[in-house]
Structures are given as C-alpha cells and as structure tokens.
Amino acid sequence: MNILFAASEAVPLAKTGGLADVAGALPKALNRRGIDARVVLPKYEEIPEALLESFEQVAHFNVYFGWRKQYCGLLKGSLDGVVYYLIDNEFYFKRRGLYGYGDDAERFVFFCFAVMEAVRYMDFHPSVVHCHDWQTGLIPFLLKTRYAYDPAWAYAKSVFTIHNLKYQGLFGIDLLKELLGTGDDMFTSDRLEFHGAASCMKGGLVFADKLTTVSGTYAEEIQTDYFGEGLDSLLRYRSGDLIGIVNGIDDELFDPMNDPALHSPYRDSLSRKRKNKVELQRELGLPQSETVPLIGIVSRLVEQKGFDLIAATFEELLQLEDAEYAILGAGEERYEHFFKEMATRYPDKVALRLGYDDRLARLIYAGSDLFAMPSKFEPCGLSQLLALRYRSVPIVRETGGLKDTIQAYDEYTGEGNGFSFANYNAHDYMYTVRRALSLYRNEEAWKQIVRNGSKEDYSWNRSARAYISVYSQLAAHRKEKEPWPVIL
C-alpha cells in the first residue's frame, strides 16, 4: 500500500507545531510495518541546509491555477528511512517563517495544485493521499473535481486529518473562486462556503473519503456546538467517516535512557530521576532537594492551555503547599508578566524561562515530579505523553486527548496514571493539584502511579496500526465504487 502524506510541515525539515511531529513520525512508523509512506511539503527557506544535502531535483514543470502559470521544482531525498518530496517555488516559499503572509491563500492553493501535478513525476503511485489541516484541505476537493478522471490519480482515495479545527483557512470567496478556477456552484454551504467566506478546511471535511482527528474524545467534541467552530453539523453528518486516533510520540527520539539532555539516564528508577531534578533545580536557581515536589510546565502561555486557571490559583498554592515550579514557554503578555512577577516574589519556589529550549524542556520532563496541563481544549496533546515517557505524573483537565490518555488515580483500586478534573474552573484545578501533592508524600502510592504510567504504550506503532485500518478500508474500494458523487 502506498500512502502520500501531504503536509505544510514535517519534522525534521520544518516545524511550528504538533502537525509536524505527526507528518514526520507517522510515516516512519508505517514504513516499519511494510507500508510505503512518503511525505510531500513545501521547500521553505527555513529548512536547514545540512538536511537538503541529501535531496536532488527529479523534475521541474509548470503549475496552472487561476490565470497563473508558476514554475515548480520537485526535489526528492531520504531522511530516517522516509522518502520526502519538496515542492520548490521561491516566490511562494523562500520567506521567513511558514505562515502568516497576506497571500497564504495563493501560496497553499499553489501547493495543493503542485502536489496533484507532482505525482506524474514521482516513481510512486499513491493508493491514498493523507492530507493535514487547512493548508492541504483542497487536495481532496481537487481529487473529486478537476482530477477525478486523471490517470495519475487513478483509484486514489483521500484521508483528511483535523489537527485543530479552530484554524480553518478562511479567505474571500472571490479570491478562492479565482485561484481554483471554479464557479459559484462550488461555494455553497454544503461545499466550500462558510458564513460568507470560503473555507479551505471544508475542502477536506466535505470531499475526503475518510476523516480523522487526533483523539477519540476530540472527534466527539467537535460534533458539538461548543467545540465545533461552526462546523459541528457537517461533522455530525460525516460522523460515519470520522474516527479519532491518538497521536504517538517517537520513543527513540524521546528516551530517558539515551537522552543527551539529561544529567542521569534512567528508565524506571525514581532515585535516578531525582538526580535530574536536582540538576534542574541547580540550573534554574531553585533550592536543591530530592524530596520537595517539583511541578513542570512546558507550554505556550495562552488561555487555551488553561493559564487562567493556573494564574487564578498560583499564589494561593504557593502559600499553602511546599512545592517548586519550573515553567518554560512564551505567549500572551499578561501571562508572561504574571509569571515574571511570581518568580520575582517567590524566587525559592518559581523559576521561569521565556521562549523555547528543547534541551531545557527535556530536563523539565525528566526533573519534574508532576506536569501541569489543565487545558480548556486540547485536540490531542503531546506534553502529557512526554511526561509519562519521562515518568512525570500529569495533572490534566478531561478534554480531548488529555481525557483519552490520562486516567485519574483511584486510591482504592490502585489504577490510574495521573490526576484529572472535569469542570473548567479554578477550584477544581486547585483541589486536583493539592490531591496530587498529598499523594506525592505517600511513597507507595506514588510509586504505583508512576508504575501505571510506565505501562502505557503511546508510541507511533500503536497509532500506525489504527491508521493502517483506515487506509485498508479505502484500498478495498476501487474508484468506480466511489459512494460520493464526482463533481465536474
């Protein structure tokens, strides 16, 4: 089975968020299971030159869309056993950063058309094209319309993965109409139109053969008005084609036994883990103690991540509990200012580092006893999985992937790998933190919680099996049996 991943970013080439982790790690896991999975993405200026050394140009051609005729180069290379294709156009992609430009609509419509054309020049015929988020949402649309009978795409099916429904790629209808070269009939509420705008995300939601999202709970949540971002009725209509699959983590890349960022390698030894805590405390200027509980936070400092709850209870918890905090992240100015003030007022309990530092992030996962993640919503979440991998116990709100991966500890049965609360309010969050700190002081209970977390398998191998099941359902049907009408 041949799977082509079309994504706007993928590690190790380009990354701004969790999408890149999925597009980089899932193909690797699929290849280990006998699938030929390859990745196509834009050739951004930010891609490190050292990684580009393994690429060679295999074709160049013109892409026609709207009234435009644009050059496109196609590069091919292999990294970590995965074949990558790069779409090369300096006008659109030789810029700082990946997104946020005034012509993003044109840039990613070009990318979608370029992917459709590039298949002609690949030594590879995809059975399934797997698209991710709004930047590639128009590929399923093109597959059902302009390329419906194109031999290069004969029998190919499409999967569209929603990583975050909040970002929909909304642009003016006239602009998208002109870029796609289509008429008014494509911009109705049951196709690409969305509240007077054109939605690239709907290209995937309406026209893809299968829909996935990054956790089972998030798949349920987005079918409700609260989480559905105005698309809940469409997602309920397509619920039979929608499945939630929890993301994985690369257990080779994130391995506390072989992580160069750590002072003391370990697997399940709490005594060795605590040596990393002391090293973290030393580096951050906190009092060094193996016994004082340390709560880690590695996150964007934004409301979505629950920082209004954290801020509302932070000082009271500092006064009530003997615990330390190690915080790494950047985001909204109000939260940055708040934590700066807390670090100044409580220098023996709070250490703050603004920005992102991969080495320090790994040391926080390894050195923390607890990891706070009380998100307002969280499609999947990666940090709680990394916390489990590094034997740090998560404190989460029961939403999206957090609900699917973290089970609240039950003192009576001994089951559970973390602490959780359901209602989004500061009182419940504070109660949960205090309960976690209380159990930390019970050595036998704490060992049991950590042991429970160590048994979980959230590697990409688990996720890959679920995706193979989705692909297999599609591969069993030839295009002549397509249940969706082909729209010309």
Binding residues: 15
CA distances in angstroms from 85 to 38, 123, 138, 151, 445, listed in the order given: 8, 11, 19, 20, 50
Distance CA 84, CA 76 (A): 6
Beta-carbon count within 10 A of 91 CB: 12
CA distances in angstroms from 485 to 140, 156, 199, 295, 477, listed in the order given: 13, 15, 20, 53, 15
Distance CA 140, CA 257 (A): 42
Relative to beta strand 170-171, strand 128-132 is: unpaired
Count CA atoms closer than 13 A to 236's CA, side-chain side: 11
The H or E element spanning position 27 is: helix 18-32
Main-chain phi, psi angles of 366, to 5 degrees? -75, -35
Residue 264 is given by DSSP the state S
Distance CA 448, CA 313 (A): 28
Secondary structure, 3-state, 214-251: CCHHHHHHCCCCCCCCCCHHHHHHCHHHEEECCCCECC
Binding-site sequence positions for ADP-alpha-D-glucose: 15
Distance CA 408, CA 453 (A): 11
Q: Nearest 10 degrees: CA dihedral of 54, 60, 64, 67?
A: 100
How is residue 120 written in tokens? 């002609």
Residue 14 is given by DSSP the state B
Distance CA 143, CA 209 (A): 10
Residue type for 36, please?
D
Distance CA 391, CA 370 (A): 9
Those residues whose C-beta lies under 8 Å from the C-beta of residue 205, and which sit 6 or more positions away, are 137, 160, 162, 211, 231, 234, 235, 238
